Structure 1
């Protein structure tokens, strides 16, 4: 294997010199040799976007830090999927497209310097910006005709300030990301899209809890995925599985299939292990085991709504610890984010017509899970009246609510349209086949509320 060093291409590790062209030249050299390894030694390596090629390895030695510039103009438009819809967005900080056998490894750090991006997003919101203004926003708007009517999850599509993911693999086969620490992402942190044979292992991913839309891992329409021994502490969902949103995701029709999540820890996130809310092509054959999701808002989180579509089934979640959450299990078909009209038919309590955009959740097993000090409720299971959650089995679980907490049961997840409840019970609505076996709930006056 060809092995080269970034220093051989004019790279400097002083945290001031811009190494963008050095990384570009290094990977061009590897491409001439049919691939190989690029070594980055100790020091701070300031850079703009990096593109990885087939049959290549980026190795960050201990003490090495990739530090990314924060000028939006440095990240030109690149094809991707942004909050469930195919479009052009800012080029990811590290990106690999249409490649095979790509690896990022080592004991170094990848720093997205997200604070500048988060502050810019905040400033745009406070200024009341509702349309593209800056040249980089106008360029994306021109490439994304009809963006005004595209679905979003709250990231800001209307302004076309489509922040970059930190690491994105798109249309790749055989991807390994292991060992490195990743922090301060501008937007989603690790975003594999249309990837087959993916391993994410021994990662440490950290973003502040207050940082907007900084999901840890977003596996998006991927197959044959392993997520092993990762630590994730972020400002949105932790380990999340997606498959596109609404009509566009249905058109693409690429489900997420065959996912194993084991021995992971998630902290602070809105959800620990999450499916959705972009569910259009379906999510199937998921096994999660032996993870600690304590301190998250919701430990297990499955979320969708009318209009998002998708068939979610064969999901087994086993031996998960979920202490100090708002709600340990939330399965929510009335998910509200991205919608401002609370009276929309999306949130009607009456049956609506079943269409290709009606999501379905069935054949889910939750086994051997525990949760102490649940602040909002012991559980939240809410299906649609026209598409109830079917064949749900929860067994050998024990949950304890914190009756001294002032957090409302209505904070169990983010929804519109559901009637008020005041007891921190396990809420079950439109899930008539739900089977509870050896499930102990301590704390609330009523253990279950069936609606």
Structure 2
């Protein structure tokens, strides 16, 4: 059966609060039913879709516009930047559900500007909870001061909502819609499996903080194809929890296929990490364009994050006008004030020591690199193992270069001696790789085992 939001008292004028209308409509749905959102601007508070074999269809010209009042977003137990905790409920949640389809050519709009402005202010000037919501979250998250984060707002407990979160669910398809102006991460599948994201258009301003495009978090069997992503942080990122909490949860991300996607202006195109605690493996990324992203293929972690990253294949990827097209960074700086995490000494291997192995970079072309050709740095005690770079070309831009230190967000490392492929604490085989305009192709530092054909 097919229902329409307007049949439940909804008004698409951008002013009327449709929260109750959506809640009544969702409650009425039975397996096999579809809820249609017609043309118009449908202002609402946060929504939760729960059930089996349900469809939400956004017609052409339909825009679900979410409230920007944090008081509407009740605390829910979820995961925020890799740690299980209470945080503000997502704008749209699909939770404890199966066989869900979100489709159409309409738009989900997170109304993010005031969230971004508040985040910037709090990051600069606020080090503890201030608002009523922040104090509620702090009381629900004892010990939050010692929880890890990526720099998004842990200390203030301004744990703003993702736009679309799919949690504890299976067999979910999201296709064709536009998703924009997210307060935080845009699409966040979490603890779910058998998911497909097809032909999405995801837009956030380049300076909107922590507005990743798609963050696949402790999920299995995920297919992402045909998506256009232009956002203010990483484009498509794979995660599995952070530090001791992620190790305890122990749900990896695996069996991931990403194809025919375009990512623009993001911090990274296809990204693994930095929340890596439960491991990320069996990943294939192919036939993508990363246009103007800071990094292209990006693997990032550090001591304290934990997790084994293995069997990652990136092939036939075109990268244009990046700072650095290829990075494997085990000195990722964000979210840590512990200098030991960035030591150049060989430290004991702990449960929170990450590892990277069995990575293939094949048939990739990068042009217009403005910082360096590649940044590949493992740990002294846990070098990157069995990395293969084959049939690739990396070419530096001829003008508008930036400092080589902008290649990655790292800490504790010396400055490299050039703009070529930086190699440190890595076992790598290089086959038919060309580096243009860099002067010295390979910058070989300590702890490197290299084979070159």
Same fold? TM cut 0.5: yes
Residues 416 and 443 of structure 2 are in contact (CA less than 8 Å); yes or no, is this contact kept in structure 1? no
Residue 125 of structure 1 deviates from its aligned partner by: 3.5
Residues 377 and 425 of structure 1 are in contact (CA less than 8 Å); yes or no, is this contact kept in structure 2? yes
2-side partners of 1:189 and 1:275: how far apart?
A: 17
Cα RMSD for the two superposed structures: 0.9
The unaligned stretches of length 5 or more in structure 2 are 446-453
Residues 330 and 378 of structure 2 are in contact (CA less than 8 Å); yes or no, is this contact kept in structure 1? yes
Residue 358 of structure 2: which of 355, 363, 371 is its match? Answer: 363
Residues 408 and 422 of structure 1 are in contact (CA less than 8 Å); yes or no, is this contact kept in structure 2? no
1:57 aligns with 2:55: yes
TM-score (norm 1): 0.97
Partner residue, 2:449: none
Residues 377 and 425 of structure 2 are in contact (CA less than 8 Å); yes or no, is this contact kept in structure 1? yes
2-side partners of 1:143 and 1:101: how far apart?
A: 32
Residue 63 of structure 1 deviates from its aligned partner by: 0.5
Residue 134 of structure 2: which of 120, 126, 137 is its match? Answer: 137
1:321 aligns with 2:318: yes
2-side partners of 1:281 and 1:120: how far apart?
A: 32
Residue 320 of structure 1 deviates from its aligned partner by: 0.2
1:95 aligns with 2:93: yes
Residue 425 of structure 1 deviates from its aligned partner by: 1.1
| 1:158 partner SS | coil
Residues 205 and 234 of structure 1 are in contact (CA less than 8 Å); yes or no, is this contact kept in structure 2? yes
Residue 120 of structure 1 deviates from its aligned partner by: 1.6
Partner residue, 1:308: 305
2-side partners of 1:93 and 1:156: how far apart?
A: 18
| 2:317 partner SS | strand
Partner residue, 1:5: 4
1-side partners of 2:122 and 2:247: how far apart?
A: 32
1-side partners of 2:381 and 2:126: how far apart?
A: 38
Residues 258 and 286 of structure 2 are in contact (CA less than 8 Å); yes or no, is this contact kept in structure 1? yes
Residue 287 of structure 1 deviates from its aligned partner by: 0.4
| 1:199 partner SS | strand
Partner residue, 1:375: 370
Residue 406 of structure 2: which of 397, 406, 411 is its match? Answer: 411
Partner residue, 2:420: 425
1:213 aligns with 2:210: yes
* Change in 2 beyond 3 A, CA 1:324/1:419: same
2-side partners of 1:174 and 1:150: how far apart?
A: 32
Residue 408 of structure 1 deviates from its aligned partner by: 1.4
CA offsets, 1:124-156, max 9 Å, x none? 344x21111111111111111111110000001
Residue 403 of structure 1 deviates from its aligned partner by: 4.5
| 1:197 partner SS | strand
Residues 120 and 209 of structure 2 are in contact (CA less than 8 Å); yes or no, is this contact kept in structure 1? no
Residue 101 of structure 1 deviates from its aligned partner by: 1.2
Partner residue, 2:107: 109
Residues 122 and 153 of structure 2 are in contact (CA less than 8 Å); yes or no, is this contact kept in structure 1? no
Residue 123 of structure 1 deviates from its aligned partner by: 2.8
Partner residue, 1:244: 241
CA offsets, 1:105-127, max 9 Å, x none? 0000111010011112223344x
Residues 326 and 412 of structure 1 are in contact (CA less than 8 Å); yes or no, is this contact kept in structure 2? yes
2-side partners of 1:373 and 1:101: how far apart?
A: 43
Q: Quick check: 416-425 or 18-27, which moved more? A: 416-425
2-side partners of 1:440 and 1:404: how far apart?
A: 19
Residue 34 of structure 1 deviates from its aligned partner by: 3.6
1-side partners of 2:238 and 2:273: how far apart?
A: 6
Residues 320 and 369 of structure 1 are in contact (CA less than 8 Å); yes or no, is this contact kept in structure 2? yes
TM-score (norm 2): 0.97
1-side partners of 2:365 and 2:48: how far apart?
A: 42
* Equivalent residue pairs, number: 444
1:330 aligns with 2:324: no
1:434 aligns with 2:428: yes
Residue 392 of structure 1: which of 387, 392, 396 is its match? Answer: 387
1-side partners of 2:279 and 2:90: how far apart?
A: 25
Residues 390 and 434 of structure 1 are in contact (CA less than 8 Å); yes or no, is this contact kept in structure 2? yes
Residue 405 of structure 1 deviates from its aligned partner by: 3.0
1-side partners of 2:215 and 2:127: how far apart?
A: 27
2-side partners of 1:215 and 1:34: how far apart?
A: 32
Residue 118 of structure 1: which of 106, 116, 125 is its match? Answer: 116
| 1:415 partner SS | coil
The unaligned stretches of length 5 or more in structure 1 are none
Partner residue, 2:289: 292
Residue 404 of structure 1 deviates from its aligned partner by: 3.0
2-side partners of 1:256 and 1:193: how far apart?
A: 10
Residue 355 of structure 1 deviates from its aligned partner by: 1.0
Residues 403 and 444 of structure 1 are in contact (CA less than 8 Å); yes or no, is this contact kept in structure 2? no
